[in-house]
Amino acid sequence: MSLTALLTAFGVVFLAELPDKTAIASLILGARYRPSWVFAGVAAAFVVHVALAVAAGSLLTLVPRRPLEAIVAVLFLGGAVLMLRSHGREAGEEEAEEAPDLGDDAGFGKVAGTAFGVIMVAEFGDLTQIVTANLAAKFADPLAVGLGATLGLWAVGGLAIVGGRSLLKVLPLHLIVRLAALVMVVLAGVSLWQAVAG
């Protein structure tokens, strides 16, 4: 297992997920319901999404290396643009979101199931899923990329559930978005160089 692939996947996915709508959804659910129950649902949904992304990325490894690097470079650049463009839209939506009302007697199954469902819907085809597929294709180490991406998503989910609002006071959202976009541009540049240099 490649430590580079694991750490890269963790870092890129962590940064890409911080300003994402699912982090906000986790924060809202965690503020209303028992955090450990919310995290159980969120964590399970992230595992499913990473598995799908790694499978898709592993299929990309069947493409010859130079064209694959070019495809990965374009996808990373597209991800950086999407991240910068979607930040403005989501910033206005964050305040309007509310946690679903499950009733005062909601147990583990209901809370974890709701968290799982919210994340499954919100994350499907999301930027972090696309980035994870790109990384799986780039490194051809599905286990390392899957583990790194899962840990990155869990870390963001945990931070959002436990103390997301405090984190955003220390590290402004616009800075997180720009840093994540910059990392994706750098990865695109590396992939493009590898495509050209062979």
**Cα separation of 145 and 185, whole Å?**
19
Instruction: Look at residue 159 in the predicted model and tell me its pLDDT.
Output: 85
Instruction: Look at residue 95 in the predicted model and tell me its pLDDT.
Output: 40
Average pLDDT across each block of 10 residues of the chain; the chain has 198 residues. List them in order: 93 83 73 85 94 86 74 71 59 45 70 85 77 87 95 91 67 67 74 75
Instruction: Look at residue 101 in the predicted model and tell me its pLDDT.
Output: 54
Instruction: Look at residue 96 in the predicted model and tell me its pLDDT.
Output: 38
Q: pTM (2 decimals)?
A: 0.69
Instruction: Look at residue 186 in the predicted model and tell me its pLDDT.
Output: 79
**Cα separation of 14 and 61, whole Å?**
23
Instruction: Look at residue 10 in the predicted model and tell me its pLDDT.
Output: 96
Number of residues that this document lists for the chain: 198
